[in-house]
Amino acid sequence: MTLPVDTSSIDYKFNKTLNEDVELISDEYGAFDIHMENGDYVNVTGHKSLLNACIIAIMTRYDELNNNPTYQGFGCHVHELIKDNQNKMFFFKLETYIADTLNNIRRVKTVNSVNILQTDVYQFKVEFDITSVNDEIIKGSVVL
């Protein structure tokens, strides 16, 4: 059985190429979890689905899912930088790894910007701005 989809929504009708996914929601600390209502998953389509894909790709360690051939090479290298010296090269690598990860998503046409804000000694807020394959600009953020 598949999750129910609102086939009458504009996002579904005009943005099918951006796929469908289970919705992620963020808490006040920036941690993400699966959104559930009445004991069932909430499904999203279109732009929200692409935003979910970006967040999942950034939050997944590179090659973490290597036991599944579908996800070979999936994930982000930022997790390899844990406790590195925080100098200009460190921040350059953070930005580059995240931009590369977003560029590897087929539904992303271009990565317009990636901004890293340090919120604590080892905590960073990543804000990104992308253009989808159907030329819509999508902005998102994730806490690492």
Tens digit of each residue's pLDDT (9 = 90 or more) over 34-89: 777 887 787 777 788 888 888 888 988 888 777 878 777 888 888 888 878 888 99
What is the DSSP secondary structure assignment for residue 6, as one 8-state letter? -
Query: How many Å apart are CA 61 and CA 7, to the nearest integer?
Result: 34
CB atoms within 10 A of CB 124: 19
Strand partners, 32: 26
Q: Hey, which CATH number is domain 10-143, 3.50.30.60, 3.10.450.40, 3.30.428.10, 3.40.50.970?
A: 3.10.450.40
Query: How many Å apart are CA 136 and CA 118, to the nearest integer?
Result: 28
Which has the higher per-residue pLDDT, 99 or 75?
99
Instruction: Please state the domain extents for the chain.
Output: 10-143
Which has the higher per-residue pLDDT, 1 or 126?
126
